[in-house]
Amino acid sequence: MEYKIALIPGDGIGPEIVREARKVLDAVCAKFGHTFSYSEVLLGGASIDVHGIPLTEDAVDTAKGSDAVLMGSIGGDAKTSPWYQLEPDKRPEAGLLAIRKALNLFANLRPAYLYQELKEACPLKEEIIGEGFDMIIVRELTGGLYFGERKTTEENGIKTAVDTLSYNENEIRRIAVKAFDIAMKRRKKVTSVDKANVLDSSRLWRSIVEEVAEDYPEVTLEHMLVDNCAMQLVHDPAQFDVILTENMFGDILSDEASMVTGSIGMLSSASLNDTKFGLYEPSHGSAPDIAGQNKANPIATILSAAMMLRYSLDLDKEADAVEEAVQKVLADGWRTGDIMSEGCMLTGTEQMGDLIAAAV
């Protein structure tokens, strides 16, 4: 099969980790007889340097003409980079928000899986970790507080800022359907997270999620308030399968979930629209302090490529092969610096990519 992949290397360590993910994808092609044609797209600081803006229409058109998009990382050091002397809507992260909106990427998937080989890196007690955990957070990505009307006013010398949290039933229904569809392929449990004891938007959220649940009788649905969910993630993470939530809650909870896995450098993510199209990226940032030093962990990007194979290209066997290759390399004792532990073998970005590609 032939597929068109748009690559967004981005900023900082982005070009390094995307290069290693491409290496693994090429190994998949060699093993399974596929052909991937790649188009490189500038986004964020890399686009500012060339075009003066963080995202161009040509970049959006290239992404739309592809079967999927694989991205590295966006942004730089906010204290030293000239990118952050620009107006907020001209900074690198504005390009990321813009491409999500242009591609209608309303569903963000953030898996949080604890590899047994990395249990020592997990900050939780061993009795809490138990046999490990395997969850996925499904976050609504284009609505809510981040996209609502906002303003700052001053009256009688007193400044007031207002941000509007708004959801309609269609926005809630489509993300709920996505979560339940994913649950059907996993352990058939959805935990819908809201603040229905306070917020009208959460009460609507809860009622629409219950309507959607009626179409999935095999899936168990539970509701959980966001403050309780934050506690439960560090008290008993194994209880969760699919966590469904709105934009801001998902932003916070997915970062919390990432840290209980031991390293954010291990965590992939996907942002999907209402077709099979998606943008895939690691959950971590651009780490400009280690860019170009062969120190970055490429595993999150490689696992994001595996998600791309599974969710956008329907190549489940190929995705399994990549995930099993990562598992094998970790079991063999290879580690980048962020996940290094006693008795293991330290390796760099390029070498980790080589090892995983060979294991495919």
The pLDDT tens digits of the residues spanning 132-173 come to 889 999 999 989 998 899 999 999 999 999 999 999 999 999
Residue 132: the pLDDT is 81
Q: Would residue 194 show up in a list of annotated catalytic residues for this protein?
A: no
More confident call, 275 vs 209:
209
Residue 230 has pLDDT above 80, yes or no: yes
Q: Would residue 146 show up in a list of annotated catalytic residues for this protein?
A: yes
What is the average pLDDT across 227-241?
95
What is the average pLDDT across 34-43?
97
The pTM (predicted TM-score) of the whole model is: 0.87
Residue 43: the pLDDT is 97
Residue 95 has pLDDT above 80, yes or no: yes
Q: Would residue 227 show up in a list of annotated catalytic residues for this protein?
A: yes
Q: Which domains does the chain have, with CATH numbers?
A: 1-115+263-360 (3.40.718.10), 123-260 (3.40.718.10)
Q: Indicate the pLDDT class of residue 121, thresholds 50, 70 and 90.
A: confident
Residue 305 has pLDDT above 90, yes or no: yes
Residue 339: the pLDDT is 87
Residue 351: the pLDDT is 98
Average model confidence (pLDDT) across the chain: 94
Q: Indicate the pLDDT class of residue 258, thresholds 50, 70 and 90.
A: confident
Q: Which one from 67, 194, 241, 251 is the annotated catalytic residue?
A: 251
The pLDDT tens digits of the residues spanning 321-360 come to 999 999 999 999 999 998 888 899 999 999 999 999 999 9
Residue 214: the pLDDT is 98
What is the average pLDDT across 72-85?
94
Question: 3-state secondary structure string, the chain?
Answer: CEEEEEEEEECCCHHHHHHHHHHHHHHHHHHHCCEEEEEECCCCHHHHHHHCCCCCHHHHHHHHCCCEEEEEECCCCCCCCHHHHCCHHHCHHHHHHHHHHHCCCCEEEEEEECCHHHHHHCCCCHHHHCCCCEEEEEEECCCHHHCCCEEEEEECCEEEEEECCCCCHHHHHHHHHHHHHHHHCCCCEEEEEECCCCCHHHHHHHHHHHHHHCCCCCCEEEEEEHHHHHHHHHHCHHHCCEEEECHHHHHHHHHHHHHHCCCHHHCEEEEECCCCCEEEEECCCCCHHHCCCCCCCCHHHHHHHHHHHHHCCCCHHHHHHHHHHHHHHHHCCEECHHHCCCCCEECCHHHHHHHHHHHC
What is the average pLDDT across 253-265?
82
Residue 240: the pLDDT is 97
Q: Which one from 255, 295, 328, 354 is the annotated catalytic residue?
A: 255
Residue 104 has pLDDT above 90, yes or no: yes
Q: Which one from 38, 84, 113, 146 is the annotated catalytic residue?
A: 146
Q: Indicate the pLDDT class of residue 116, thresholds 50, 70 and 90.
A: confident
Residue 53 has pLDDT above 90, yes or no: yes
Residue 118: the pLDDT is 81
Q: Which one from 11, 67, 195, 338 is the annotated catalytic residue?
A: 195
Q: Indicate the pLDDT class of residue 124, thresholds 50, 70 and 90.
A: confident
Residue 129 has pLDDT above 90, yes or no: no
Q: Indicate the pLDDT class of residue 97, thresholds 50, 70 and 90.
A: confident
Q: Would residue 215 show up in a list of annotated catalytic residues for this protein?
A: no
Residue 123 has pLDDT above 80, yes or no: no
Residue 99 has pLDDT above 90, yes or no: yes
